[in-house]
Structure 1
Amino acid sequence: MKNEKVLIVDFGSQYTQLIARRVRENKVYSEIITYSKNLNLDLTTVKGIILSGGPSSVKDTFDKKFLNVLINSNIPMLCICYGMQAVAKFYQSSVKSKKIREYGKADLRILKESNIFRGCNNNFQVWMSHGDSVIDVNSHFDVIASSGNNNISAIKHKTKELYGLQFHPEVTHTKDKGKIIKNFLIKYL
């Protein structure tokens, strides 16, 4: 993949460097950029975009113009934690703050077959770390996985190559053996 890359947009996640490491372990070049209001992004060599998690709430920090540039580029996207919440809000799905942050292990249940979960068990442990949650999606998305009391844990856009994960596939506490990130990279790069 000469001069092609995965762009990782860092929204302040403690795991951003780990996302880049997981991408490199799959022999794919990645570049991390810190989120800013700069809309002059050169996406000509970008073959995939990963949005990181972050400590902020989409209720406080949400930039529709920035997301519009990324989403309308039609470059495949993997949106993790805050990234999923931001994309859901962009499409006017419902995102709410939780009284108690969800932090720790959770049991994921795959609800709908999807390329992102290829080779994964139908149920496996994932790692959650968030204060906001997507509680309802509109007609743009399918809910493809849930956890706990039917909490929305993964979504797929119906017409774009865009996935949202409420959990963190980059950490070893998520027991997918690295398949989720690998599936994203293999399918779209």
Structure 2
Amino acid sequence: MYYHASPVEGIKQLEPRVSDHHIPLVYFSTKRENTLVYLSNAIEKYCKETGFVYDGIWKKWGPYGFPKDGIQQLQEYYPNALEKTYKGVSGYIYSAESITDSGFEIKISNAASSNAPVKVVGTEFVPDAYDAILEAEEKGLIAIMRYEEMPEKMRKWIRRTILQEYEENADHPEYLHFLKGNFSDILGE
């Protein structure tokens, strides 16, 4: 089974869209729990909550990785990041039995993509993405590295990365607004 998360209700067929890879694709995971992170985009949510008006394509924010055990690990790069991003957010997890593999290599564990429309065979409503993430953690399906538990080496990497991201994304005002709001200690604002 293949899974795809979306805030949009009632999808019967998933259509390829241009995203981070600049070609039309539909993204999936063979693990349902791995799609929970896509129910909310931290940048878009933060901008809307703070009144930042933007009508372009939202930059994506995906602070997660796959340690050696292969279980997705969500990483809080700033205090209470998971709660701020996912609490109160609802959405849908769509399932498909098969896809037309795009042949595009996605460097994410258990991920797949299709460059053709994909028929939806099941829909699951997720009333609160944060609660669903905590439940998946409790079941051992995902792991969470909370900000308070983050090793100093990782904090130094975050500092370097945020400074670099801020410098390299002048053409994404929504992203800069998000970075300023959540990393003011690093950016000095």
TM-score (norm 2): 0.25
TM-score (norm 1): 0.25
* Structure with the larger RCO, 1 or 2 (CA within 8 Å, 6+ apart): 2
Higher CA-based Rg: 2
Higher strand share: 1
